[in-house]
Every structure is written in C-alpha cells, then in structure tokens.
Amino acid sequence: MGRLFWKFFFCILLAQITATVGIGSILWLEAHSNDKTRSDVDESPPAAFRVEAAAATLHFGGVDALRRLLTQQNRRPIYAVDEQARELLSRPVPAAALLQARALVTRQPGVVEEVQANDGHRYVLFQAPLGGFNGSLHMDRAQALRLFEGRAGATHFLETPARDLIPFLPLIAAILASLIFAFLLAWYFAQPIRHLKQAFNDAAEGNLDRRLSLAMGGRRDELSDLGRDFDRMTQKLQALMISQRRLLHDVSHELRSPLARLQASIGLALQQPEKIHESLQRIAREGGRIDKLVSELLTLSKLETGVMHTRIEAIDMQDLLAGIIDDAQFEANAKNCKVVWRAKVNALVDGDPELLQRALENVLRNAVKYSPADNEITLATSLDETTKRLTVSMLDQGPGVPASELKLIFEPFYRGSNTNASGHGLGLAIAIRIVEALSGSITARNREQGGLRVDIMLPLSATITQ
C-alpha cells in the first residue's frame, strides 16, 4: 500500500476521532448538566408520593402538623421552604436546590408542591435525593429572595434553547467534523490533479515545456511521483522530437550532396558524349554512396525500433576479433599504420555475430580513419570475473574529441568539430545501439598522451582464460 492510501486512511481516521471526541464531550456535558440541575431534587414516583402527602398535611393540618411530620423523617427528608427562603425546620438548603424546586413547581406538579399555609406563608415542598444535596449550602438571604422572586428566570434556566438542542449536538458535531476534513482532503488532492490535467492538455497540444516538479511542492506521495514521471516523459518526448527533426535535416543534407553530383554527372554526359564513360563511373560511385547511406539508415531505424531480427548464439570473441583486425589492417596499410592486438583472451559472448562484428568493425575502422599516418592503433581485451563482462578497448593516436562532444559522437550524423574526415556519421550511432541491444555498454574518453579510447563492455556467456 502506497503513501496516498495512508494519507486517506489517517485523514478519515482523524475525522472519526474528532467526531467521536466532539460527541463524547457533548454527551458528557449534557450528563454533567443533568447532574448539576436535577441531582438536588428527587423526581422519582415514591418521592412525588411523599411530597403530595406532606402537602396535604400542610393544607389540612397546618404548619404545626407538617413540622411534626418532618421531624419524624430520618432518611430522604422532605424540605419546606417559604418565600423568604427559610426552611421550616431551619435546615440548610443549597441555592441550586431551591432554584430547581421553584422551576419544577409548574413543570412537574407532584414532584414539587407549593402550598399556602395557615400562617400566611407559601411553602415549596420537595424531597432531597438519596445521599443529600450536591450543591453548595451557602446562600445569603438576598440571593434566596432573588431566586424565589424570579420564577421566569428559574424556568429559563432549565428551558433554554441550548438545552433543547442538546440531542442534536452530536449529529451536528459529526457533520461539521466530516465536512471540514472532507473539504481539506478534497482540496489537498484536487490541487495537484488540476496541475496534472493542465499539463496533459499542454502536452496534447504539443507544448512539452511544462514541468510539474515545482508545482507539486514538497509533496511525497503517488501524485508527486506521477508528476515527476510526467516530467521525465515530456523530457524524453521533447528529446525524441528534436532528434527526429535533426535526423530529418541531416538525412536531407547527406542525400543532397550525392544527388547534386549525380545530376551534374548526368548533365555532363548529355553535354559531352565523349566523356560518358567518366560520367557513368561518377554516377556509379554516387549511387553506391546513396545506397550505403540508405542501408545504414535502415539498420539504425530497425535497431532503434527493436524490429531487427537477430539470431542469438555463443560467439567466440577471439575468432571474431581476429577477422575484424585483419580487415582493419588492410585499410590501415594505406596510411602505413599498424593494428596491434594486446592482452588477448578467449571468451564467449551471446549475440548476433553479424551485428556484433559490424559494431566492433565500425569502432575500429573509425580509429583507423582518424589516426595519422605511420602510427599504431591498439586493440586490447580484458575480463572482469566479478561482473562477468568482457571489455574490448580500441585506442588511436588521432586528434581526440573535445570533452563536451564525447557523448555526441554516438549521435547519428555527428562529426567532430576538430576533424574533416568523410562519412555520414552513422558508424558509432549504429555501434552503440547494437551493443546496448546485447545488454552491453560503450564509452569514449580522451587519452592523456593524445588520441581517443573507446571501451566496449559485453556480458559473457562462458569464459576460458589463457
């Protein structure tokens, strides 16, 4: 499971925890409020029965009869408080209990009774809960009078809109928490998706310059990975488009020269029939150059698209290199150069013999071409038992290549800026694609004593070391 999954998971979990804490807090507050507002008056049916009996005693027997009745009660006593907040037996009564009793006179008759006595006072009768009062017992006379005179205020204490909303508060808290976290989650994921959508629209219209890495900021999830992958994709597409345009330009340029010479030769043959033999020879040479160029382009195209049909077999590198060196020596004799094979090894490499021969031959012939007369071209082989790879190194004593152009020499139609050699610039491009198709690699670097060194590394099939 990826990082995006865990972000969804923890966001939803946090929303649930927040909603749970909110609901739990509201329920606790409601319970706490109920404890504070109702715990000082017993509202049970037995308490209501006793209160009604005490009210009847006061109504028919008077204050003295009620006093005797209250004196005889030990557990769960009934309290009788007049309008001056004085309890009949002078017992302390908390302010909260008086406030609740006064409010319940009209709301729950029977639980609390208010009776006009024969001594001219009106008494509120109620029973305390089991365990006694929870509220404070301290109340001055002025506060008690305010409580008893403020019937509307006492009723408002228990009948506020906030208390009516308490049953709905858990639902409201859950909805608010879900809305907040849903909004944050949607905003967090919608922003990069908008960037991706705009980038894909730009790419579809041909604009490959847009990059998403900066727009993603410091994100570390699958969406930011997708943005970086998009950047790599557009960079490669842009490079391919530039390469395609350059290839088209280079092919047009390379074909232009031999075609121009062909047209000139045909014109010369038509104007000077006596030189038709020389013109035909020129036409044959230019036709051969065009044929070679088209053949190399076809080979390069097949290698790049992966449709080159190859036969894979174990190749004896000693025999293959010996034949390549003999052919290269034939060309080197024209410049009085010598091709030397040093550090010979016996090794087997899996691949297509014709393609591998062509790749190695292109590199070696390139070394012969750029080496000055009366010099030596060296071919060396070595084995790496750790990586199981064979390295074929080719060293010349030519002008070398500027450091900034070492990677460019493997591009199609590239010619070094410090050389004037002929050719189409496709030999090394074909070589690197053949080597890479065989899971190998090829690198070039300048030698300290002058010249260029090209190393071709190929995976071994089997090795026999002399």
Q: What is the largest CA-CA distance in the chain?
A: 161
Instruction: Return d(Cα 113, Cα 105) in angstroms, integer.
Output: 6
Question: Between the CA of residue 20 and those of 27, 33, 168, 412, what are the distances in Å?
Answer: 10, 20, 14, 67
Structure token digits, residue 106 = 């009209």
Question: Between the CA of residue 298 and those of 47, 94, 293, 305, 308, what are the distances in Å?
Answer: 106, 105, 9, 11, 10
**What three-state secondary structure class fits 423?**
coil
Q: List the beta bridge partners of residue 458.
A: 390
Question: Between the CA of residue 420 and those of 93, 170, 290, 370, what are the distances in Å?
Answer: 116, 86, 20, 9
Q: Are 381 and 393 in contact (CB under 8 A)?
A: yes
Q: Which residues are catalytic?
A: 253
H or E element that contains 72 = helix 45-72
Instruction: Return d(Cα 56, Cα 61) in angstroms, integer.
Output: 8
Instruction: Return d(Cα 81, Cα 123) in angstroms, integer.
Output: 5
